[in-house]
Amino acid sequence: MQAVEDSPLLEDRPVVEQAGELRSARIESLRAVAALAVYIGHVFGQAYAYDPARTLDTLPHRTLLGGGFGVYLFFALSGYLLFLPFARRDFDDGPAVDYRRYAQNRVVRILPLYFAVVVVLLLATESGGTLKQWLTWLTFSENFTSDRSQVTDVNGVMWSLVIEMHFYLLLPFIAFALARLARGSLGRAAVLLGALGLASFVLRYVTFYEDSGPVDPTVDYSLPSTFMFFVAGMAVVLARLAWQRHPPRFVRGPLAWAETWIVASLVFWVLVFDDYSHGYLAAIASALLLAACVMPLRTGPVVRLLEWRVLAFVGVASYSFYMWHLPILEQIGETSWKPDSFPGLLLLTLPLCLAVAIVSYRFIEAPFLRLRRRWGATAARQTASSEEQPARREAAAH
């Protein structure tokens, strides 16, 4: 069976280096897009003190403020990249997954930077922090409170890391259950996964989009409530494996071009920005955007822009950018010389946030990420990274 990576439409994808390993420029650029979108949403909100009269009055303004929905693209990327090796093992005769290496890779990817940011912020911005803050934030417990202000009092973006961590822990069990119940059938797996996504949607719709009362972080900032966004990426995995077996006949003409899928994604993003109560549509928008980058489709100028290595390098450092940008914005916001306009605040903070992200990546993230090479490639990494490390380019690089 021909691997998707061997398709002439995919084998020459540009790559970018991350801590000595090659990654797909497209995937890293999607990370950059997600991180920059969240950043722009926060800059726009900070510039106008989140005043609804100035930030929600027009569609362009709602689009800028709605950049925060980019976090759901991060969730979809995690769903795709981490579920891919499990799905190949269970539905495509792929290699076994080494759970120990899977856990080690997740630890070095997430924990060093997370703990570094927590320690710096508690010491520098919280006057040393309280014992409760130290215990809460160092144990990933910030989402387990009914007081939303406590979820965001140290760093307003870290709630998503708690959800990511829960996904990492549960994914092997979810994949195992899907494999046992589906018994090798991609169709049954898709139905089961869809049922899980639908249950997550119903929970989130009832508690978040429909309920006009105060947000309960213990529910709405939880994996069950946000699992639908991970399902978006996991569904692309199943679609890709099905495509590999039997290329769909309907993908002809305009549908054979990745740009068509990107346009369809943009339509759903516009619907989200037009009315935030339709935020669940970000799952569909993320799935279409991701599919445009990983399916064997013909590509045009938009996808080639996602292969731009400068943007991809921002994606390599996107975790650091994501974790540091909001504290930087908040500290600048407390000064008397803060620009009083969105363009001014953007021009001031973007270079600063990028510089901090690069330094953070270089001295905090990269040293730990290099440990992955020391203990060797695992089945999970080999399979997931087949999206990110085309064999021919890796051989050429070494």
| pLDDT score recorded for residue 389 | 42
SS3 state of residue 155: coil
Q: What is the pLDDT of residues 61-112, one digit of tens each?
A: 999 999 999 999 999 999 999 999 999 999 998 999 999 999 999 999 999 9
Residue numbers of the chain with a pLDDT score lower than 50: 1-11, 378-398
| pLDDT score recorded for residue 12 | 52
| pLDDT score recorded for residue 251 | 86
Kindly report the pTM of this predicted structure.
0.91
> CA torsion, points 192, 198, 203, 209, in degrees to nearest 10?
160
Q: Which residues pair with 23 in a beta bridge?
A: 16
Long-range contacts of 293-296 (CB under 8 A, 24+ apart): 293/24, 293/26, 293/27, 293/30, 293/258, 294/26, 294/27, 294/80, 294/236, 294/240, 294/387, 295/236, 295/239, 295/240, 295/243, 295/258, 295/261, 296/4, 296/7, 296/9, 296/10, 296/243, 296/247
Burial of 139 (0-12, 13-18, 19+ CB in 10 A): exposed
| pLDDT score recorded for residue 376 | 59
| pLDDT score recorded for residue 238 | 97
Using only the alpha carbons of the chain, give its radius of gyration: 21
